[in-house]
Amino acid sequence: MAELTPNEESTSSEEAYKVFVNLLGKAFYEDVGVDGRVDPREPVKLKKVLDHFGENPQWMSMTEISRSVKISRTYLRRALRYLEEEKLVQCGQYRRYSLNYAGICEAVNYKILQKQETFENKRSGIAEYICLRCDRKYNALDAASLISEDGNTFVCENCEEEVITEKESQKKMEAQLKLLQDQLEIVKDIPIPVRFVNGTQLSWKTEPERGEGIPRSGFGAQLGHT
């Protein structure tokens, strides 16, 4: 098989991380608000912010991210704080942010193992019903009052999404985790995107925020390069 050129390798690496982050968002952050709580009514979801980093493998300021994602700095600040705590995003010099390439694989692997352990503990438990969106749980007695008008499904009284048995929900989640785990095996063995390492000046295309004087050598200094 022919070796990839540097440009092809960079594109391949960027695409692999983009897919990885998208699957991560679908598995764990689809309906999670900026404070880490599952709430389908929350106007800003963590997945939206996370996807931004998958699509932009470079350091960016809060102002740049806010403009790109189209959310207020107030919501964004809370989202970034939570994603940092999850070890998925990092904050570097001059308050610029990027994916935490050094720690994201380990963090995601831990989340997958935790979820799989939860599944194992539930396998012998009593069947319950769970909302696909907000994760609200109901017992068999509750389910009788959740029947939809057409009588074919159960509907959550909190967010009006479909309610299914936990066994069905677990099957869907296990399928998502399998896709994420397969992609994790890919990204953990490839270099981080070249644009992140060598092309960070691309993220400095806008005016620095007040008090953010950014030297051209700032990124190299952060990585220990001269």
Per DSSP, the residues of 105-158 read HHHHHHHHHHHHHHHHHHTTSPP-EEETTT--EE-HHHHGGGB-TTSSSEE-TT
Q: Provide DSSP, 36-51.
A: S-B-TT-SSBHHHHHH
Q: Summarize pLDDT for 18-48 with one digit per residue, the tens.
A: 999 999 999 999 888 888 887 766 777 899 9
Mean pLDDT of 129-143: 78
Predicted local confidence at residue 182, as pLDDT: 96
Cross-strand partners of 99: 89
Look at residue 167 and tell me whether its pLDDT is greater than 80.
Answer: no
Q: What is the pTM for the complete model shown?
A: 0.70
Q: Summarize pLDDT for 42-57 with one digit per residue, the tens.
A: 777 899 999 999 999 8
Predicted local confidence at residue 40, as pLDDT: 65
pLDDT more than 70, % of the chain: 76
Q: Angle, to 10 degrees, between the axis of helix 104-122 and the axis of helix 166-187?
A: 150
| Residue with more model confidence, 121 or 182 | 182
Domains of the chain: 6-105+188-215 (1.10.10.10), 124-183 (3.30.40)
Quickly list H helices, 145-193.
166-187
Pairwise CA distance, residues 55 & 200, whole Å:
14
